[in-house]
Amino acid sequence: MKKTFLYGAALFSLSLTAQQHQQPSRICGFDDALKMQDRENPGLRQVFDKVIKKIQAEKKANPLSATGKTVNGVYEIPVVVHVIEGNNASYTRTDAQIQTWLDNANKMYAGTYPWPAAGTPADFGTSAVFPIKLVLAKRDPNCNATTGIVRYNGTSLAGYTTSGMAYQTGNGASRAAIKTLAPHWSETSYFNIYVITTFDGSNTPTAGLMGFAAFPNSTDAGYESFMKTGVVTNPHDTTFAHEFGHAMGLYHTFEGGRYDAVPGDNDYCPPTTGVCGEDDDEVCDTERAGSAYTFWPVIPSNSTINPCTGANYQGVQYNMMNYTNTVAQKFTAGQGDRIEDFFMLIRSSLTTSKGATALPATPVSTTPIAATCNPTGVANPSTASAFLAGPTSVKLGDINNSSAATWPGAPAFYVDYTTKACVANSYTPLVVGQQQTVEVGFLKATNLDQSIRVWIDYNNNGAFEASELVASGNNVQAGAGGYGTFTANFTPPATAVQDTPLRMRVSADMGGANVACGQLAYGQIEDYSVRLVQNLGTSEVKTDKDDLVIYPNPVATGDKVFIKAKNAKNLKVSISDMSGRLVVSPSVSEERTGIFKINQNLEKGVYMIQVSNGKDSKTSKLIIK
């Protein structure tokens, strides 16, 4: 990996507008930031690079059986926008303007943004579709309703009124001071965006430094984005779409080259090893090229020779992750693959967060009694190496939770999700006497396989007896791509405590004793909450008398979607993503008279589902929470 890559808390990217190009300036110190990161976390950069390369190599070697943390629909990422206001009304942006700004970024990810014809190159082509949707939070970490936009009075911060945030100079309030005034919401459940008046005293809202964002493998405390207010209302502004691209793991397409170099300069073309997956942005369908920053006002077309390859340009000069001056910008499919490998490796918890889901009308108690014992530690802590041991996903009934397991940015060997049920899908009711299926996902980041254990405290005494071990697997094999899934069936006994939250404990570890308490070898233990009941409610069916009813909707888990159909002789189902692409045409099975189960396990996302019976047809949006 090139020495100009940035990692960790010091990692950031910067966006500038075309107006700057009259007087280019040095925008960030890549080498200095990298040296700082390497001093703070020796070897971490190389370890993460090896993990990503391992995933990519196994996918390439086994393309037909490659596995990963993928979804069939759209990733809904809850965001909270912290607006730091000053006393200058010209910097004020309304809630409606902020919502439109996020909507525009979503359209850019979906490839549906209406770029103006006058600014779109004739050979622009089309953008790859990213299944990403940024959604303002509807509940805060304390389970209060919210708009997802929180405003703070920044005039109390020294220097903020006159200079905004200090970044490249000492003028303005520090980043730390702003975050003390407006603390992060939980990084595992929300992406934190800070909208500030300006940087370093600049009085040009549409020029200069416009914003920056951290990469996914930053520490939680540094995983965020800061944006100047000007980006919110600039026409066709791509700053945030570009910056959140970095937050998902994308580099600049010219990584390793100097952003303001011109063709002919020694550092215009990025260094090359001849291996596309290792050069510049590590994406093979963005050809090697220098920065498009100096191409103004004429942008080279695809009929122009790329001086870094000696062949015609192939579209990199229009890429969203370039410093391009074309109005219309796009992503590539390879960049989407990069997001899957990088963002989903570390930040997948954002895709299963309930932060963007409205609060229920009637809250349900989900907190079990405290456990009598908890894990005491880990023999090989993930502080210097990225073992990524532990569960990366847990699914059971309504439980659907993803995480990065334990890694240096969040080296927790024990996570109690029973205390996080407001923002995590960590609770489910289960019917006693009925077979249940639990799935535990994991990543094989080293040469060691992981072993899985699941306990449920059936007698509600806070302890986990041998008789309460409901699932067990030793040295479970991962698939191509490194990801694996352990699946087990169990039946809750009628003798267990019912109608009370019970603690479920999930362990994934490489070696070790695999016990519910005590010391782990490398991995992680997570706690969840279940409630045993005699029957699940079916009010959705009883209260809706229409035919071809899809229920429940929204639903917390994608394998529990049903259809109520009076005439089901020729019942057919097709499910598409929000861009209109067909995802699957699943079969259905009759559960009881007039009630059919869709035989497909849909991941979290938003879909369009069409149901027909040869006579009638119904199409509606389906939300998997």
**H/E/C letters for each residue in 206-223?**
CCCCCEEECCCCCCHHHC
Domain boundary among 294, 318, 346: 346
Kindly state the average pLDDT of the residues 175-190: 96
Q: Is the pTM of this model over 0.75?
A: yes
Pick the residue with more confidence: 40 or 134? 134
Mean pLDDT throughout 566-578?
Answer: 76
327, part of any domain: no
For position 224, which CATH number holds? Answer: 3.40.390
Asked if 199 and 167 touch (Cβ cutoff 8 Å), the reply is yes
Q: Identify whether residues 584 and 444 lie together within a single domain.
A: no
Q: Tell me, yes or no, whether 507 and 558 share the same domain.
A: no
SS3 144: coil
Please tell me the least confidently modeled range out of 296-310, 415-429, 493-507, 567-581: 567-581
Span 27-50, average pLDDT: 50
Domain at 612, CATH number: 2.60.40.10
Reduced to 3 states (helix: H, G, I; strand: E, B; else coil), residue 86 is coil
- In this structure, are 476 and 527 located in the same domain? yes
- Residue 2 domain-assigned (yes or no): no
In a domain, 540, yes or no: no
pLDDT of res. 383: 60
Phi, psi (5° rounding) for residue 483? -85, 145
pLDDT of residue 14: 45
pLDDT at residue number 538: 40
How, if at all, do strands 211-213 and 13-15 pair? antiparallel
pLDDT 10s digits, 483-519: 788 999 999 999 999 999 999 999 999 876 688 998 9
Residue that is last in its domain, among 287, 314, 346: 346
**Residue 314 is assigned to a structural domain of this protein:** no
Closest of 327, 29, 17, 13 to residue 202, by C-alpha: 17
Number of structural domains, the chain? Answer: 3
What average pLDDT does this structure show over 539-558? 60
Residues 504 and 615 both lie in one domain: no
For residue 232, being part of any structural domain is answered with yes
Residue 361 has pLDDT above 70, yes or no: yes
List all residues 6 or more positions away from 421 whose beta carbon is below 8 Å from its beta carbon: 366, 367, 427, 529
Token duo for residue 174? 């520090």
When pLDDT is averaged across residues 511-529 and rounded to a whole number, the result is 88
- The reply to whether 118 and 245 lie within a common domain is yes
Q: How confident is the model at residue 29 (pLDDT cuts 50, 70, 90)?
A: very low
**Which range among 20-34, 177-191, 445-459, 545-559 shows the weakest confidence by mean pLDDT?**
20-34
Cα 335 to Cα 313: distance, rounded to the nearest angstrom = 17
pLDDT(54) > 80: no
pLDDT(21) > 60: no
- Phi and psi based region of residue 355 (left: phi greater than 0; alpha: psi -120 to 50; beta: remaining): alpha
Q: Please report whether residue 606 resides in a domain.
A: yes
Residues 342 and 371 in one domain: no
Collapsed DSSP state (helix, strand, coil) of residue 576: strand
- Domain with 117 in it: 26-252+332-346
For residues 57 and 179, membership in a common domain is answered with: yes
pLDDT band of 267, cuts 50, 70, 90: very high
Considering only 13-27, 297-311, 465-479, 610-624, which range has the smallest mean pLDDT? 13-27
Q: In this structure, are 194 and 68 located in the same domain?
A: yes
| 221 or 508: which leads in pLDDT | 508
Question: Is the domain of 195 the same as that of 46?
Answer: yes
| 214 lies in some domain | yes
What is the model's pLDDT at position 25?
Answer: 37
Q: Mean pLDDT lowest for which of 35-44, 257-266, 275-284?
A: 35-44
How many angstroms separate the CA atoms of 526 and 113, rounded?
A: 41
- Locate all alpha helices (DSSP H) within 214-332, ordered by sequence: 230-233, 239-247
Q: Specify the DSSP element, H or E, that contains 562.
A: strand 562-564
- What pLDDT is attached to residue 13? 42
Whether the link from the prior residue into 297 is cis, omega within 30° of 0, is yes
Nearest to 352 by CA among 404, 415, 387: 404
Given a cut of 90, whether residue 330 has pLDDT beyond it is yes
- Please indicate, yes or no, if residue 20 is contained in any of the structural domains: no
Same domain flag for 463 and 559: no
What is the average per-residue pLDDT within 190-199?
Answer: 96
Question: What pLDDT does 36 receive?
Answer: 42
Together in a domain, 456 and 560: no
Per-residue confidence (pLDDT) for residue 567, from 0 to 100? 66
Residue whose tokens read 């020796």: 42
| Angle at which helices 333-346 and 44-61 cross, to 10° | 120
pLDDT of residue 3: 28
Which of 498, 533, 568 delimits the end of a domain?
Answer: 533
384 and 240 in a common domain:
no
Q: Which residue has the higher pLDDT, 567 or 83?
A: 83
- Name which of 28-42, 298-312, 610-624 the model is least confident about: 28-42
Instruction: Give residue 69's pLDDT.
Output: 44
Mean of pLDDT values over 174-193: 96
Give per-residue pLDDT as tens, 62-76: 655 444 444 335 788
Q: What does the mean pLDDT of the chain come to?
A: 83
Per-residue pLDDT at 17: 40
